[in-house]
Amino acid sequence: MAANEEEEGTSPLLSKEEERRHHPGCPGCDHDRRKDLQTGLPYKEFSYVWMICLTTALPISSLFPFLYFMIRDLHVAKRTEDIGFYAGFVGASFMFGRCLTSTLWGIAADRIGRKPVVVFGILSVVIFNTLFGLSVTYWMAIATRFLLGALNGLLGPMKVWRT
């Protein structure tokens, strides 16, 4: 029976002893060794994922309480009733930027790794949220929100993050 398995290619490539052996300098073996030594839930890793997901949600949820006042103070709308119209474009520009580049960020995360993409995404959130808050014109607000969405490649890599 073992001869038939080897001929068909269904036998395992490594024996159980070879699977347990860790090779020095091998990143996969180091990861497996850390997984073998870990007991319980990885609270530290969960806290990292939680903080980064919070960073991802912040640009979406923190905008709307003060967007009305920002558009009003930028004097874009001629009437008070038009403020919501202009605020909609500022709010939508973030999601439009994210829509255009989310697949590219997934490809980049697969090619160069998740950590560099996540670090770049966090930095872009800090920089472009600050620039959005300092916007002095309507078009600067739209451009910074669009760039914030386009350069914020956090959501995809965080959903598939492996510890």
Residue 33 in any domain: the answer is no
Residue 99 in any domain: the answer is yes
Residue 87 in any domain: the answer is yes
User: In which domain, by residue range, is 61 found?
Assistant: 51-151
- pLDDT at position 31: 73
* Exposed/middle/buried for residue 160 (C-beta within 10 Å: 0-12, 13-18, 19+): exposed
Residue 18 in any domain: the answer is no
Each residue's pLDDT tens digit in the chain (163 positions)?
Answer: 455 555 556 666 656 555 556 667 777 777 777 777 778 887 888 888 888 888 778 888 888 889 999 999 999 999 999 999 999 999 999 999 999 998 899 889 889 988 899 889 889 999 999 999 999 999 999 999 999 999 988 877 776 655 4
For residue 140, CA distances in Å to 71, 90, 105, 131, 159 come to: 12, 10, 24, 9, 31
Residue 62 in any domain: the answer is yes
Instruction: Output the CA torsion sign for 63, 68, 72, 78.
Output: positive
Structural domain total, the chain = 1
What pTM was computed for the model? 0.71
CB–CB of 73/133 below 8 Å?
A: no
- pLDDT at position 157: 76
Residue 28 in any domain: the answer is no
Residue 17 in any domain: the answer is no
The amino acid at residue 41 is: L
DSSP secondary structure, 49-106, as one string: HHHHHHHHHHHHHTTHHHHHHHHHHHT--SSGGGHHHHHHHHHHHHHHHHHHHHHHHH
Contacts of 28 (CB under 8 A, 6+ apart): none
Residue 147 in any domain: the answer is yes
- pLDDT at position 45: 80
